[in-house]
Amino acid sequence: MAPLLEAKGVTKVFGGLTAVDQVDLVIERRSIASLIGPNGAGKTTFFNCMTGLYQPEEGSILFDGRPLVGQRSDQIIGLGIARTYQNIRLFKGMTVLENVLVGQHVRMKATPLGAILRTASQRAEERQTREFALELLEFVGLAGEEDILSTNLAYGDQRLLEIARALGSRPQLLLLDEPAAGMNPRETEKMMGLVHRLRDEKGITVFLIEHDMKVVMNISEKVTVLDYGKKIAEGKPAEVRANPRVVEAYLGPGVLMDAPPKAEKKGE
Shortest gap between Cβ of 107 and other proteins (angstroms)? 8
Quick one: CA dihedral 91, 95, 98, 99, positive or negative?
Answer: positive
Q: Does 144 bind other proteins (CB under 8 A)?
A: no
Contact present, 208 and 34 (Cβ < 8 Å):
yes
Among 122, 188, 220, 243, indicate the residue that binds other proteins (CB under 8 A): 122
Q: Please tell me whether residue 3 binds other proteins under the rule CB under 8 A.
A: no
Q: How many residues interact with other proteins (rule CB under 8 A)?
A: 59
What's the min distance (Å) between Cβ of 53 and other proteins? 6
Interactions with other proteins, residue window 18-47 (CB under 8 A): 19, 39-40, 42-45
Write down the least CB distance from residue 249 to other proteins, Å. Answer: 14
Spatial neighbors of 262 by CB under 8 A, at least 6 apart, are: 213, 214
- 145 bridge partner residues: none
Task: Tell me which amino acid residue 241 is.
Answer: R
Closer to other proteins by Cβ: residue 157 or 234 = 157
**Subset of residues 58 to 117 that bind other proteins, contact rule: CB under 8 A:** 72-74, 76-78, 83, 85-89, 91-95, 98, 101-103, 105-108, 110, 112, 115-116
Q: For residues 192-226, b (16+ Cβ closer than 10 Å) or e, as one string?
A: bebbeebbeebebbbbbbbbbbbbbbebbebbbbb
| Nearest alpha carbon to residue 168 among 198, 132, 203, 200 | 132
Separation CA 216–CA 223 (nearest Å): 8
Closer residue to other proteins (CB): 59 or 235: 59
User: Residues 149 to 178: which contact other proteins by CB under 8 A?
Assistant: 149, 151-155, 158, 165, 169, 178
Task: Count the Cβ atoms, other than its own, within 10 Å of residue 148.
Answer: 15
Q: How many residues does the chain have?
A: 268
Q: Is 225 in the site for other proteins (CB under 8 A)?
A: no
- Sites of contact with other proteins (CB under 8 A): 14, 17, 19, 39-40, 42-45, 48, 51-53, 72-74, 76-78, 83, 85-89, 91-95, 98, 101-103, 105-108, 110, 112, 115-116, 118, 122, 126, 149, 151-155, 158, 165, 169, 178, 181-182, 211, 268
